[in-house]
Amino acid sequence: MKIAIAVLGVGVSSFFVYVFATLMKEFISSSARDLEVHLARFQPRRKRGELIEMHVNPVTRKASTKIVSRIALGVLVVFGMAIPFHGQQSTSGPQSTKMPDGAASTNNSQAPQEVLQELDAMKKRIEQLEAQLKQQGGSAPPPAQTAVASTPAVAPNAAGPNNEPSLNPTPIARALSTQEPAQAAKPQPAEPFAFADWTWLNGNPRTKDLPFDSKFFTPEVRVDVAYHYDFNHPQDDTISGSSEVFRSNEIALTHLGVGGDFHFDHVRGRVLSQIGQYATATPRNDASYSRGQWQLDNAYRYVNEAYGGYHIDALHGINVDAGIFLSYVGLFSFYNFDNWAYQPSYVSSNTPWFFTGMRIQVFPTEKLKIEPWIINGWQSYARYNYRLGLGGQVLYRPRGWISMLSNNYGLGADTLGIPNRTRYHTDNSVEVKYYDHPERFLDKMAFSLTGDAGCESGGGVNCTTNVKNAAGKIVAYKQSFLGYMLYNRWWFKNDRYGFTLGGGKINNPGRYLVLLPPINGATATTGTPYFTENPGDPFKAWDISATYDYMPRQYITFRWEFNHRHSNVPYWNGPGGMTPPGGNNGNPGSIVILPNGTEWFPDLRNTEDRATMAILVKF
For the CA atoms of 229, 234, 240, 243, the dihedral, rounded to the nearest 10 degrees, stands at 30
Q: Is the pLDDT of residue 311 over 80?
A: yes
Question: Do both 166 and 224 map to the same domain?
Answer: no
- Domain span at residue 154 reads 2-94+110-178
Please write the tens of the pLDDT for every residue from 501-520.
999 999 999 999 999 999 99
Tell me: do 119 and 263 sit in the same domain.
no
Q: Is residue 361 part of a domain?
A: yes
**Least confident segment among 12-26, 204-218, 226-240, 548-562:** 12-26
Answer yes or no: is 572 within a domain.
Answer: yes
Q: 438-492: per-residue pLDDT in tens? A: 999 999 999 999 999 999 999 999 999 999 888 888 889 999 999 999 999 999 9
Q: How far apart are CA 56 and CA 42, in angstroms?
A: 9
In this structure, the answer to whether residues 126 and 271 fall within a common structural domain is no
For residue 8, tell me if it sits in a domain. yes
Is the pLDDT assigned to residue 328 strictly greater than 90?
no
pLDDT band of residue 54 (cuts 50, 70, 90) is very low
Domain assignment of residue 191, yes or no: no
Tally of CB atoms within 10 A around 577: 18
DSSP letters for 555-578: TEEEEEEEEEEEESSS-EE-TT-S
Whether 347 contacts 484, CB under 8 Å:
yes
Helix (H, G, I), strand (E, B) or coil at 349: helix
Q: Is 118 helix (H, G, I), strand (E, B) or coil?
A: helix
Percent of the chain with pLDDT strictly greater than 70: 73
Band of pLDDT at residue 102, cut at 50, 70 and 90? very low
Query: Could you tell me the pLDDT band of residue 124, with boundaries at 50, 70 and 90?
Result: confident
One domain for residues 372 and 509: yes
**584, part of any domain:** yes
pLDDT at 91 exceeding the cut of 80 = no
Phi/psi of residue 281, nearest 5 degrees: -75, -35
pLDDT of 309 over the 90 cut: yes
Please check whether residues 437 and 489 belong to one and the same domain: yes
* Residues 152 and 226 reside in one and the same domain: no
Report residue 544's pLDDT band, with 50, 70 and 90 as the boundaries: very high
How far apart are alpha carbons 52 and 40 in whole angstroms?
Answer: 11
Q: Is residue 212 part of a domain?
A: no
Give yes or no: residues 170 and 237 share one domain.
no
Question: What is the CATH classification number for the domain harbouring 306?
Answer: 2.40.160.10
Classify residue 439 as exposed, middle or buried by CB count within 10 Å of its CB (0-12, 13-18, 19+).
Answer: exposed
How many beta carbons lie within 10 A of that of residue 96, not counting itself?
A: 8
**Mean pLDDT estimate for the chain:** 80
Q: How far is CA 567 from CA 123, 474, 610, in A?
A: 88, 25, 15
> What pLDDT is stored for residue 438 in this prediction?
94
Q: How far apart are CA 66 and CA 69, in angstroms?
A: 6
Cβ neighbours, 10 Å, residue 234: 24
Give CA separation, 192 vs 360, 362, 395, in Å.
Answer: 15, 10, 11
AA letter at 456: E
pLDDT at 271 over 80: yes
pLDDT given at position 126? 80
- H and E: helices and strands count for the chain: 7, 25
Fill in the amino acid letter for 531. Answer: F
What's the pLDDT tens digit per position in 12-41? 455 445 545 554 554 455 444 444 444 444
- Residue 246 counted as domain residue: yes
Other beta carbons within 10 Å of 253: 14
Q: Is the pLDDT of residue 260 over 90?
A: yes
319 and 444 assigned to the same domain: yes
pLDDT at 17: 53
Mean local confidence (pLDDT), 34-63: 41
Among the residue ranges 101-110, 277-286, 315-324, the one predicted with the least confidence is 101-110
CB 498 within 8 A of CB 561: no
Query: What is residue 273's predicted lDDT score, i.e. its pLDDT?
Result: 96
Buried b (16+ CB within 10 A) or exposed e, 302-340: ebbbbbebebeeeebbbbebebbbbbbbbbbbbbbbbbb
Clarify whether residues 456 and 539 are in a common domain.
yes
**159 and 229 housed in the same domain:** no
- Output 526 or 147, whichever has higher pLDDT: 526
Contacts of 564 (CB under 8 A, 6+ apart): 543, 544, 545, 607, 608, 609
Rg (CA), the chain: 36
For residues 120-144, average pLDDT: 64
Q: Do 554 and 603 share a domain, yes or no?
A: yes
221 shares its domain with 163: no
Distance CA(77)–CA(68), nearest Å, equals 14
- Tell me if 183 is assigned to some domain: no
Q: How far is CA 618 from each of CA 178, 206, 227, rounded to the nearest angstrom? A: 53, 9, 18
- Domain end: 155, 178, 201, which one? 178
Cα torsion 102, 107, 109, 111 to 10°: value is 180
What is the distance between the alpha carbons of residues 41 and 58, in angstroms, rounded to a whole number? 12
SS (H, E, C) 267-323: EEEEEEECECCHHHHCHHHCCHHHCCCCCHHHHHCCEEEEEEEEEECCCCCEEEEEE
Please count the structural domains in the chain.
2
Measured CA to CA, the distance from residue 293 to residue 354 in angstroms comes to 22
Tell me the HSE value of 375 on the side-chain side, using a 13 A CA sphere: 31
d(CA 195, CA 593) in angstroms, rounded, equals: 63
